[in-house]
Structures are given as C-alpha cells and as structure tokens.
Structure 1
C-alpha cells in the first residue's frame, strides 16, 4: 500500500488533476509513491476521487489526519491488554502484590468479595482466607454447571410419545414401549423424562 501524502503533495495532486486530467495525476502519484504501482487501478481512482471530493468541499484538512478530525476519541479498536509474565516476579514480590490487592478489596461488601472470589481459579479454602469470608459462601457463589444426563432410549421414548399424540400417560406408555420395542422402562423414569419435555 502507498504511503500517506503530506499537504504539499495533496495540493499538487489537486492542481495536476484540474490542469492535465486523470492520466497525469496517476503518473504523478506513481512518481512520488512507487508502491502505488502494486495497487489496482480501481483503488487508485477511488483514492484520487476522494482527494478531489474533499478539496471541492473545502475539507482538505481531514486528508492530513488518517483518523479524521470528526472521529470521537476512544471510538477505535481497544488496545490489547498486556498480560504480565508472573514467572519474572520473585515470591516476595508476589506476596507484596497479593497484600496490596487485599488492601484494595478490604472495604468491599461481602457480595463484591464473593464475586471476586468467583473469578479466581484457586481452591475454595484459600480464596475464603484471602477475602476473609466463609468457605461455604465461596463454594455456593461459584456456579456449577449441571449436566443433563440423557437416557439411552431417549429417541424411542420421544418417538413413541409422539406416535400416540401425547394421549398415553407413563404407565400406558411404558406398556406400549415394552410391546413394540421389547424394552422395559420403569414408568417412574418415564414420568421424569416426560416432565422435562412438557
């Protein structure tokens, strides 16, 4: 990609375009920035068109700043946070960092301390001591992912329930499955499965 032009070059491009036309303008741009030889003509024409448009509207100041004068601060892509390499620190420095962190969090409420403890990836007892809260409170605050166990005959149960248009209860459905598929499923476990779907 070609480099960004300075004010004198923009003025010269506008002047050459008005006097000699597009072909001479392209030659001038290729002379001052040889990298433009590698871009397509379509993109080069678009760039020249933008320069001419800005000059005609009296907005040539915005061409000098790549970001544009009207751009709001903080509207760009956020900077990548630099993650410190904890292996560089000695044990004493890490203890000092932990003490300072504890001082900052000392005046927080219990719920804020628990939410901080959730984020840490250490044992419950250690995080409870660090934040000076009960261990059970930390355990309860950490969300557990409940895995839903699927029954091995789940598709058969669902198919037979839909075949009967949902008219059968768990007892009749259990008898229907044992007659048709020769599989015995306890009516109570069938009831649990039906409760999940309905």
Structure 2
C-alpha cells in the first residue's frame, strides 16, 4: 500500500511539474504573441507612414511636372506669338536683306511667309452688325473659293498620279517586250 501511495505521490508531483512547465510555456507563448502583435502594429504604422510620404512625394512631383509643362507651353506660345508678329511686321525682302541676301528656305518657312502675306488683320472692334455680316460673308466666300481650289488641285493631283502609274506600266511593259525580242533575236542568229 505504501508502495502504491508513494508511486501515486510521484505521479501527482510529476503531473504538477509538467503542468507547471506547460503553464510557463503558455505564459511565454502569450508574451511572444503580444510582442509579435506590437511589432506588427509598429511595422504597419511605419509602412503606412512611408506610403503616405510616397504618395505626397508623387503628388508634389506631379504638381511640379504640371507646373513645368504649363510654363513650357506658355513659353512656347510666347515664342510662337513673337515669331508670328515678326512675320506680320516685316516683309520677305526686308528679312532677306537683313540676313545678307536670299537664303534657301525650308518648306515650313515658305508656308509661314506665304500665310503671313495672305493674312490680313481684321479690325472688328468698331464695326456695326451689318458690317460684321458683310465681313463674315466675304470671309465665307473666300473660304469656299479656297476649298473649291483645294478640291480641284486634289482632283488634278489624283489624275496626274493615275496617268503617271499608267505611263510607268507602259514603260515597264515596253522594256519587257524589247528584252524579250532581243533574246529571241540572239537565239535565231
């Protein structure tokens, strides 16, 4: 009996010791979980702060780029206006004299000079309604005339292009025929 009693006591002590160890492990695990939660919360907070900073930087960069783009466009517009006013104020011969004689012009420059010579300033500030209607009708008629000329030129261009392709085909056919007749002549001799 005593033997059973001592064995039972050792089992009870072993059980309480293992339970004590389990409780200590449980306490350690809960502390680790709490620490980990705190670390994750801190990481999440720093991550959100970094994201906010990044978004702010991107917004500032975008605003800066838009501002630079607006400044660049304003500068380009100012340069264009300056060039156009210089085209309007001076004639072609005056500009070539200043440069030291006529120089070759690019197609763009030619177009600009032609347009500046054709373009007339409209002073519509002091005109009455009837005069405005007259000027609008004149502009409309001139625009219709220009559109008609444009259509005629396009039609003539298409006809000429068609004729050129026909002539090219005839030339190539003629060359093929002459090559074939030459080779046949060489075989007969």
Quick check: which has more Rg, 1 or 2?
2
Give the TM-score normalised by structure 1. 0.18
Greater per-residue helix proportion: 2
Q: Which has the higher contact order (CA 8 A, sep 6+)?
A: 2
